[in-house]
Amino acid sequence: MHLCCAPCSTYSLRAFREEGHGLLGFFYNPNVHPFGEYRLRRKAMEDYSQTIGLPVIWPARHEIESFLRAVAFHEEERCRICYQIRLSQTAETARSQGCDEFSTTLLISPYQRHDLLREVGLKVAEEQGIPFCYADLRPGWKWSRQEARQLGLYQQTYCGCLFSEKERQLEKTRKKGWSLASTPSANF
């Protein structure tokens, strides 16, 4: 199971376990920027996985460079590329560990592009020779946020990539009625 973050894992892992799936976590998120954000998410996932007894495979290093190289000059396709990178590595890891299938906790987020996630997951499954287990977990989104708050888990406010963070900041700027043209220091 690809793990994007601890809050999304709460309901997702529970739902898959209730369906009888044995789970092995894989925390692989080269898209997360800045590095301090990556560390916060990883630490929260480490703590949560220990709490629930989930074995997790951790990458040796944060590979943001590979993500940035892949999306450079293809920013409009960044979500597809990001899903491809993360799900391909998850499928490869799952196959090497003898797993029967692979999935992702991204499936809980109403902010993710589910049609695209499913499309990419099925394509990766075909390429890697291991089934992709798709489930629409979005009905558990609110429960996962409440559970994360109760457990004191770090909850991020954007998907993780610098493009998403920029969009979040621009939206905050718009909501405050600021104009970037009138703010010299906000030269994006």
Q: What is the DSSP letter of 38?
A: H
> Which tens digits make up the pLDDT trace of 16-40?
999 999 999 999 999 998 898 899 9
Instruction: Assign 163 a pLDDT band (cuts: 50, 70, 90).
Output: low
Structure-block tokens of residue 78: 């960044």
- Tally helices (H) and strands (E) across the chain: 7, 2
User: What are the boundaries of each domain within the chain?
Assistant: 6-179
Residue 88 burial by Cβ neighbours in a 10 Å radius (0-12, 13-18, 19+): middle
| Mean predicted confidence (pLDDT) in 35-55 | 96
d(CA 127, CA 117): 15
- Backbone dihedral region of 182: left (phi > 0), alpha (psi from -120 to 50 degrees) or beta? alpha
At 178 the pLDDT is 75
Top-confidence residue, 68 or 84:
84
At 177 the pLDDT is 77
Q: Please tell me the least confidently modeled range out of 14-23, 98-107, 156-165.
A: 156-165
Cβ atoms of 24 and 133 within 8 Å: the answer is: no
The 10 Å Cβ neighbour count of residue 107 is 25
Closest by Cα among 55, 39, 73, 60 to 163: 73
At 175 the pLDDT is 75
Q: Is the pLDDT of residue 183 over 60?
A: no
Top-confidence residue, 183 or 5:
5
The 10 Å Cβ neighbour count of residue 168 is 13
- Class at the top of the CATH hierarchy for domain 6-179: alpha beta
Q: Please calculate the CA angle 146-149-152 and round it to the nearest 5 degrees.
A: 150
At 154 the pLDDT is 86
Instruction: Assign 48 a pLDDT band (cuts: 50, 70, 90).
Output: very high
Q: Is the pLDDT of residue 57 over 50?
A: yes
